[in-house]
Copies of this chain bind each other. A is one copy, B any other.
Amino acid sequence: MRDELKIFKKYLKQKGLKQTTQREVVLKLFLESPKHLSVDELSRRVRESDPGIGHSTVYRTLKLLAGCGLALESQFLYGRTCFEPAWGVEPHHHLICTRCGTISEFRDPLIGAVRDKICKGLDFKPEADRMEVYGVCSDCQGPRELREED
């Protein structure tokens, strides 16, 4: 059994909640799907796999997954909200292409270092952070040779 399923089951038991088929299906699809799916897109996939599962169950299950650290909610600009797997995933940040919508990731230890320095200086206790860069990805910029420099 996957670690994530174990964690989820343990979390449910610990909270006195019940383990249901729907919850397992949502977790499975969540883990199998590409990252950065919108709730709607995930919900559509869940329905394809098991047409009986309602929209609200997907939402409710995602909240539970976020509650036990298996999912992380991201709200990007331009109205997109998505949940992404968070277990065993190192902290990272996002690059969002404003042309094609592709979301990619990057990591850099300096970001965390700056955050800690700032927080220390301002006596702010950090719990979470996010950084996003919006712009045009390599593909959408077209072939390098044809680009106008700006």
Q: Is A24 an interface residue (CB 8 A)?
A: no
The answer to whether A114 and B115 touch across the interface, beta carbons within 8 angstroms, is no
Within 8 Å CB of A134, what residues of B?
A: 126-129
Q: Is A138 an interface residue (CB 8 A)?
A: yes
The answer to whether A124 and B129 touch across the interface, beta carbons within 8 angstroms, is no
Q: Is A108 an interface residue (CB 8 A)?
A: yes
The answer to whether A133 and B124 touch across the interface, beta carbons within 8 angstroms, is yes
Number of copies: 2
Within 8 Å CB of A77, what residues of B?
A: 73, 75, 130
A6 to B14, CA, bound (A): 61
Chain B residue nearest in CB terms to A129: B133
The answer to whether A126 and B135 touch across the interface, beta carbons within 8 angstroms, is yes
List residues of A (119-143) whose CB comes within 8 Å of B's CBs.
119, 122-138, 141
A138 to B119, CA, bound (A): 10
Q: Which residues of A contact B (CB under 8 A)?
A: 73, 75, 77, 95, 97-98, 104, 106, 108, 110-111, 114-115, 117-119, 122-138, 141, 144
Known: A111-B111, A126-B133, A127-B135. 6 other contacts (CB 8 A): A95-B124, A97-B124, A123-B138, A124-B137, A128-B135, A131-B132
